[in-house]
Amino acid sequence: MDAETFRRFGYQLIDWVADYLQEAERYPVLSPLSPGEVRNRLPTGPPLSGEPMEAILKDFQEIILPGITHWNHPRFFAYFPANNSAPSILGEILSAGLGVNSMVWQSSPAATELEEVVMDWLRQMVDLPQEFRGVIQDTASTATLCALLCAREKLAQFQVNREGFSDWSGKKALRVYTSSEAHSSVEKGVKIAGLGSQNLVTIAVDKAYAMDPGDLERKIRADREQGLTPCCVVATVGTTSSTALDPLRPIGEIAQRYGLWLHVDAALAGSAAILPEMRWILDGIESADSLVFNPHKWLFTNFDCSAFFCRHPETLTATFAIHPEYLKTDRDQEVTNFRDWGIQLGRRFRALKLWFVLRTYGVEGLRQKLRDHLTLAQEFKGWVEESPDFETLAPIPLNTICFRFQPGKRSGRTLSAEKLDGLNKDLLDEVNRSGKIFITSTRLSRTFCLRLCIGQTQTRREHVLQAWDALQGSQVVQEWRQKLR
């Protein structure tokens, strides 16, 4: 493609994206397609000769776009968001244009040094102690795996890296502790790190679904008495189901008392700590060894961008560094080589988009957006609680509401748990199929919950109201209201 053609289509696509961001609302938020519908419209083999961009863009519009679930839609309330913003997209364009690989300092000094700077800005924004050093990972799952590997190596004095697991299996097995509400990435990391999922110890939660430190200490002691080797605690600040907040201070004290690595998974919630009034969610973080949170979840930065902070970067580098001849440079003693801070060698220039976001919004601009989301979540909570037949199912400290339709709430008529679960599944299915909103579900204490998360960049009060109206106006709710009238 020559420069002129690139320029022409570049302008066209920027126009397209600008319109899309403004008008995402005109699409059904959840793609209505059935499995196979996109694949069946695509050729089974690659084109032998090149095709014109016009043809590719036409197929993008006609085949790909209908199969898109619109994460940028203001009525996207599902999962946790992978939100973005115009400045972040501009940063991504430059990063793609430059196409650099920031594996070592020399491979693009600016990529490494900008990453060091923006990660330190983020550290200051969430008020982490100065000794924490940051690195951008692709996802929280990878960061948690890195933390587990560091915990393993620190405890084993790098013996597992050298000799494999021979000494640390069976009765001496390394044990990892996390709550029953922790994200599945912890179990995945434990498996990949070779620790074995049977050595992942589930800690009980309290009524607010936060880790019970008493149970943590009991289980660590029981393991020690059996000759097992406590290694790491993974605490969650903002659990996936209900954004429950594990109490870091007592958990940190226990981790220190027994010499365990404490990793904090704050994938979504960490961003909220940039608000002075919400910083308490990280109270006690100074005793943690590592922390991850995702600017790609709630700091308006394109997926992927996961901020991993470690209090002992020397443990991180001792765990991951390898020095093949072909990567050595004369500057290695003076500079940071981020290839030694994680699993991958090649690394995208992700710091650029984060820099664009932090500079365009400024800290106050970002705080305002997060405050708006938190206020809307409290407002939604009020609507649910005042409603005659909806109820909340967990505390709402942040931006995520777990709730359900409960037709017997006021009348006292009791419906069986199965009946209620079934009703709410039908309601979920109906509102999502409508294309008006997209919410997801979870289970808390075995109860099926509808789950609505307010974190999309474009979401305003009117969109949250529309979500509430979609639920109220659904056939499931209307029919039950008729029935009980």
Cβ-proximal residues to 287 (8 Å cutoff; 6+ apart), any chain: 248, 249, 252, 253, 255, 256, 262
Q: Which of 117, 172, 178 is nearest to 147 (CA)?
A: 178
Cβ-proximal residues to 56 (8 Å cutoff; 6+ apart), any chain: none
Q: Shortest approach of ligand PLP to residue 307 CB, angstroms? A: 11
Of 102 and 139, CB closest to ligand PLP? 139
In this structure, how many other beta carbons lie within 10 angstroms of the beta carbon of residue 404? 23
Q: Shortest approach of ligand PLP to residue 58 CB, angstroms? A: 32
Q: Shortest approach of ligand PLP to residue 182 CB, angstroms? A: 7
Burial of 170 (0-12, 13-18, 19+ CB in 10 A): exposed
Single out the residue of 85, 107, 240, 387 in contact with ligand PLP (rule: CB under 6 A).
Answer: 240
Single out the residue of 72, 84, 107, 141 in contact with ligand PLP (rule: CB under 6 A).
Answer: 141
Binding mask 265-304 for ligand PLP (x = CB under 6 A): x-xx-------------------------x----------
According to DSSP, the residues that pair with 202 across neighbouring strands are: 178
Given a contact cutoff of 8 angstroms between Cβ atoms, the answer to whether 431 and 452 are in contact is no
Cβ-proximal residues to 461 (8 Å cutoff; 6+ apart), any chain: 376, 379
The pair of structure tokens assigned to 216 is 């943590």
3-class secondary structure, 169: coil
Binding mask 149-168 for ligand PLP (x = CB under 6 A): --------------------
Of 80 and 361, CB closest to ligand PLP? 80
Q: Shortest approach of ligand PLP to residue 23 CB, angstroms? A: 27
DSSP 193-239: TTS-GGGEEEEPB-TTS-B-HHHHHHHHHHHHHTT-EEEEEEEEBS-
How far is residue 366 from each of residues 129, 244, 273, 357, measured CA to CA in Å? 21, 22, 11, 9
Site for ligand PLP, residues 61 to 90, rule: CB under 6 A: 80
Size of the site for ligand PLP (CB under 6 A): 15
Q: Shortest approach of ligand PLP to residue 113 CB, angstroms? A: 25
Cβ-proximal residues to 465 (8 Å cutoff; 6+ apart), any chain: none
- Asked if the peptide bond before residue 304 counts as cis, ω within 30 degrees of 0, the response is yes
Site for ligand PLP, residues 174 to 213, rule: CB under 6 A: 183, 185
- What is the distance between the alpha carbons of residues 247 and 239, in angstroms, rounded to a whole number? 12
Region binding ligand PLP by CB under 6 A among candidate stretches 6-14, 22-30, 223-231, 234-242: 234-242
Region binding ligand PLP by CB under 6 A among candidate stretches 134-142, 159-167, 283-291, 350-358: 134-142
Region binding ligand PLP by CB under 6 A among candidate stretches 198-206, 231-239, 309-317, 359-367: 231-239
Of 71 and 480, CB closest to ligand PLP? 71
Of 132 and 293, CB closest to ligand PLP? 293
Region binding ligand PLP by CB under 6 A among candidate stretches 171-179, 214-222, 264-272, 437-445: 264-272
When asked if residue 140 is in the footprint of ligand PLP (CB under 6 A), the reply is: yes
Which residues lie near ligand PLP (CB under 6 A)?
80, 139-141, 183, 185, 236, 238-240, 265, 267-268, 294, 306
